[in-house]
């Protein structure tokens, strides 16, 4: 590789092991819980102050007016940019700073970030403060080893990925900050394993189905019309027709795990009748409304209009067959699937870095769930984007989440090599 001593770069990253551990711990100890979106400002300023000392120009962005933004919980983002010695492409590392709720079942303190047996434990350790720390160390080591690089390097810490990314990457993409032509290549260090390149994700359609009934005294249900029984009829059709149909749809996308290589549908929730917010006993009532929230994940081979029609056709056919059946179907949220070509420069650069560092070919994967790549692709019009980072995907959002220090070191080496290739057009 031109003008880069790879062994020296690897040695330099290994020499930063303690610094990497401290940085990861410092990040985990800022409890950026989302919801509500706490301590974003502390986290972005912590990152900004560190990178400013390394010659980066720092910009802070508050995504005013986006969901959840308030003076108490401002949706804060940071973008750090460092120009090279000559003009050239811009390589951007994007990490979300927010973490999901702690939940039950922890044996470790979720915000103590303890180092035990080569692992750092904590909420966000793998998703994705470990990846963020690894990318920062990769870039800092690269700058020391190759200060005369061409192009520009950017590192961002963004808000709200766990709640859709509207106060984070989507906002910055709309502003033209995380978009073409300002940026050429993006690596998102989400926890997909150090030997895998994540090309994209499946699509999402969330919707609410409401069945309608007629309220009456519970002792005389024949005078009313039970919305819950109508919903049971919907469920029966799902079981008999929709789930088998979805299981028959297979994708050529390399989705992991295997179970997600087909279309899936989760029933998120069902609410029927009066809510149990009473003291004492409930009133005797026939439910006049029942609502179901569905989470349909679809494949790149599927068309969103067809995905929706499968459900609406099923409801229409029930309406024509079942007495007094009436319903409403409401869209809640949708994301189109995205998948970067394997021949794209960022894929090739990271894959060759994996081969160099780990001595084996990279595995190409697609994520079962979405992440911020959707906004970079659709709003930012930038398709040269992947997810690559340390940590095990299935640990994300779990109790006793952790990241392995060795994995962070290896992936930092991969990221630094990929950075060099992308800056100098060596893919």
Question: Which residues contact Zn ion (rule: CB under 5 A)?
Answer: 127-128, 190
Q: Which is nearer to Zn ion, 184 or 401 (CB)?
A: 401
Q: How far is the CB of 32 from Zn ion (least distance, A)?
A: 12
Is-contact 173 79, C-beta < 8 A?
no
Instruction: State in angstroms the smallest separation of the CB of 397 from Zn ion.
Output: 9
Q: How far is the CB of 165 from Zn ion (least distance, A)?
A: 10
Q: How far is the CB of 374 from Zn ion (least distance, A)?
A: 13
Between 201 and 413, whose beta carbon lies closer to Zn ion? 201
Task: Identify the active-site residue in 127, 154, 161, 193.
Answer: 161
Two tokens at 239? 């079981």
Q: Which residue has the tokens 């470790």?
A: 108
Out of 98, 140, 377, 404, which one is annotated catalytic? 98
Which of 108, 121, 97, 111 has its CA nearest to residue 32?
Answer: 97
Toward Zn ion, which CB reaches closer, 288 or 372?
372
Whether residue 161 lies in the annotated active site: yes
Please tell me the distance from the alpha carbon of residue 222 to that of residue 331, in angstroms, as a whole number: 32
Q: Which is nearer to Zn ion, 94 or 352 (CB)?
A: 94
If the CB atoms of residues 145 and 162 are measured against Zn ion, the closer one turns out to be 162
Q: Which is nearer to Zn ion, 225 or 404 (CB)?
A: 404
Q: Is 71 a catalytic residue?
A: no
Conformation bin of residue 340: beta by default, left when phi > 0, alpha when psi is -120 to 50:
beta
To the nearest whole angstrom, how small is the minimum distance from the Cβ of residue 303 to Zn ion?
Answer: 28
Provide the token pair at 396.
């994300």
- The least distance separating Zn ion from the CB of residue 158, rounded to whole angstroms, comes to 11
Taking CB positions, which residue lies at the least distance from Zn ion?
A: 127
Q: Which two tokens stand for residue 397?
A: 């959002």
Q: Where in the sequence numbering do the catalytic residues fall?
A: 98, 161
């Amino acid at each position: 590789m031109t003008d880069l001593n790879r062994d020296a770069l690897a040695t330099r990253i290994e020499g930063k092991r303690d610094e990497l551990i401290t940085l990861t711990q410092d990040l985990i100890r800022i409890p950026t819980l989302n919801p509500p979106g706490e301590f974003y400002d502390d986290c972005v300023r912590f990152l900004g102050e560190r990178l400013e000392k390394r010659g980066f120009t720092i910009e802070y962005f508050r995504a005013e007016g986006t969901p959840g933004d308030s003076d108490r919980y401002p949706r804060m983002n940071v973008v750090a940019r460092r120009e090279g010695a000559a003009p050239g492409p811009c390589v951007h590392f994007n990490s979300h700073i927010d973490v999901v709720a702690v939940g039950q079942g922890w044996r470790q303190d979720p915000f103590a970030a303890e180092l035990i047996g080569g692992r750092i434990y904590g909420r966000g350790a793998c998703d994705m403060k470990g990846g963020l720390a690894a990318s920062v160390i990769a870039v800092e080591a690269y700058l020391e080893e190759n200060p005369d690089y061409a192009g520009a390097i950017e590192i961002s810490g963004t808000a709200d990925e766990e709640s859709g990314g509207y106060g984070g990457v989507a906002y910055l993409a709309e502003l033209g900050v995380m978009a073409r032509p300002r940026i050429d290549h993006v690596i998102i260090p989400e926890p997909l394993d150090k030997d895998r390149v994540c090309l994209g994700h499946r699509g999402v359609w969330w919707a609410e189905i409401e069945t309608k009934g007629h309220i009456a005294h519970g002792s005389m249900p024949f005078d009313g019309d039970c919305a819950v029984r109508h919903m049971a009829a919907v469920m029966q059709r799902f079981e008999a027709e929709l789930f088998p149909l979805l299981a028959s749809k297979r994708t050529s996308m390399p989705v992991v795990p295997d179970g997600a290589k087909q279309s899936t549908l989760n029933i998120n929730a069902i609410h029927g009748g009066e809510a149990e917010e009473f003291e004492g006993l409930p009133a005797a009532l026939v439910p006049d409304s029942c609502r179901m929230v569905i989470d349909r994940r679809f494949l790149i081979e599927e068309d969103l209009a067809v995905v929706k029609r499968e459900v609406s056709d099923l409801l229409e056919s029930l309406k024509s067959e079942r007495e007094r059946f009436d319903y409403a179907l409401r869209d809640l949220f949708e994301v189109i699937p995205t998948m970067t070509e394997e021949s794209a420069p960022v894929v090739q650069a990271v894959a060759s870095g994996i081969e160099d560092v780990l001595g084996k070919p990279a595995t190409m994967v697609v994520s079962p769930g979405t992440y911020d790549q959707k906004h970079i692709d659709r709003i930012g019009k930038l398709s040269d984007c992947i997810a690559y980072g340390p940590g095990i995907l299935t640990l994300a959002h779990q109790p006793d989440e952790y990241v392995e220090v060795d994995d962070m070191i290896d992936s930092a080496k991969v990221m630094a090599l990929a950075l060099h290739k992308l800056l100098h057009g060596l893919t």
